[in-house]
Structure 1
Amino acid sequence: MKSVILACLAAVAIAAPQFVQPPNQVAILRDDRQDLGNGAFAYDFEAENGIVESRRGFSGSQGQTNMEGSFRFLLPDGTIAEVRYVADENGFRAESPLIPTPHPLPAHAIEQIRFAEEQRARGITFNDY
């Protein structure tokens, strides 16, 4: 009988809710926000874990808010990753060594493109049949 009671107590102890440690909290070192009016704004943010963001907004030619800024963060190997971007009438453009770029065209393809542009400039066209 004692062994049954002991087994029941062990089962209750195992089934008891486990206390989960809260996720790591990160201190915010800087959070500056300014609304300058007419769609213009400034935003700067920095956290103790290395995340930094800076963004500026200003009125665009078609009534939209254009933006430019950057953000950076630490990669697992300890290096800093940074992305700079612009968003305006011409779309969103980002620059970073982390963003993959297409392979360069081979020389013969570049020559074919140049030759086709030269023919087009002289008015030479080809009909599709």
Structure 2
Amino acid sequence: MNSLVITLCVFVAAVSMIAAFPQNVVDDRVLARSNNQISIVRQASDGPNPDGSYSYSYETGNGIQAQEDGHLNNVGTDQEALEARGSYSYTDNEGNIFQVSYVANENGFQPEGAHLPSVPPLIQRALQYIAEHPEENGQE
């Protein structure tokens, strides 16, 4: 897939993620509004570069922060895939800070955050067993 198309898709996904933040995530103590618009207080970006890499970061007037770096893995092969690593954080009306770190690659979107549910250890062991014994699952 063309690296420019991949980069564009990641950028659109990032913008969609930002737009999906709950509209009531506002901390009145640090609000920087003008006509109901929240200002961007810091912003940086690089790319997309010819090798498919890019990076961006920003912080808004109400404390939302996000950053992401991306690059192509396995360039020039059938397994070529974009990998993005990043994080974002925001504060809700009660002052709770939510932080998410993630990797997105050929294995899907893999978020981590203290507020996100995790896979129980018993399920993890079962999944590991299934992966280690494909012959028992008709996958030889």
Give the structure-2-normalised TM-score. 0.55
Equivalents in 2 of 1:65, 1:33: separation in Å? 17
Give 1:40's aligned amino acid: S
Does residue 25 (structure 1) correspond to residue 42 (structure 2)? The answer is: no
Match of 1:56 among 69, 72, 84: 69
Higher relative contact order (CA 8 A, sep 6+): 2
Report how many residues are paired.
92
Hey, what does 1:97 align to over in structure 2?
Answer: 114
The Cα of 1:64 is off from its aligned counterpart by 2.5
The Cα of 1:103 is off from its aligned counterpart by 4.3
Give the structure-1-normalised TM-score. 0.59
The Cα of 1:71 is off from its aligned counterpart by 0.4
Segments of 5+ residues of structure 1 without an aligned counterpart are 1-21
Equivalents in 2 of 1:80, 1:37: separation in Å? 36
CA-based RMSD of the aligned residues comes to 2.9
Hey, what does 2:4 align to over in structure 1?
Answer: none
Does residue 46 (structure 1) correspond to residue 63 (structure 2)? The answer is: no
Match of 1:37 among 28, 32, 50: 50
Hey, what does 1:85 align to over in structure 2?
Answer: 102
The Cα of 1:43 is off from its aligned counterpart by 0.4
Give the % identical residues.
31
Please tell me whether the aligned partners of residues 39 and 64 of structure 1 are also in contact (alpha carbons under 8 angstroms).
no
Hey, what does 1:5 align to over in structure 2?
Answer: none
Segments of 5+ residues of structure 2 without an aligned counterpart are 1-33
Hey, what does 1:65 align to over in structure 2?
Answer: 82
Give 2:41's aligned amino acid: L
